[in-house]
């Protein structure tokens, strides 16, 4: 993926939720809700991440989109959430 198509601009909640999903490989909604606090803020973050094609959802289980893994890895390294 060319670098200009890979630039991500996530808010703090989106970035946190994305980091959780990456670190756990996949998470169910109720687990995310228990960790991230749930509610409208979590729902908006998940919606935004899905809309950007960063995560996939299947029956309430969220995982990273394989097609965007390199982009996500670069973003998380750049923001020093992983190394």
Residue 51 in tokens: 């809309």
Is 5's pLDDT higher than 70? no
Q: Pairing state of beta strands 26-28 and 55-58?
A: unpaired
pTM score, two decimals? 0.85
Residue-wise pLDDT for 6-53, tens only, equals: 788 899 999 999 999 999 989 999 999 999 888 999 999 999 999 999
Residue-wise pLDDT for 42-73, tens only, equals: 999 999 999 999 999 999 999 999 999 999 98
Distance between CA 2 and CA 5 in Å, rounded?
Answer: 6
Alpha-carbon Rg for the chain, nearest whole angstrom, is: 12
Reported as type and span, the H/E element at residue 68 is none
User: What's the distance, CA 6 to chain centroid?
Assistant: 14
């Amino acid at each position: 993926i060319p670098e200009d198509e890979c630039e991500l601009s996530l808010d703090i909640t989106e970035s946190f939720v994305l980091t959780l999903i990456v670190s756990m490989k996949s998470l169910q909604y109720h687990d995310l809700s228990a960790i991230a606090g749930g509610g409208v803020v979590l729902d908006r973050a998940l919606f935004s991440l899905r809309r950007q094609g960063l995560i996939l959802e299947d029956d309430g289980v969220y995982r990273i989109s394989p097609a965007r893994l390199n982009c996500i890895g670069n973003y998380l390294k750049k923001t020093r959430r992983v190394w």
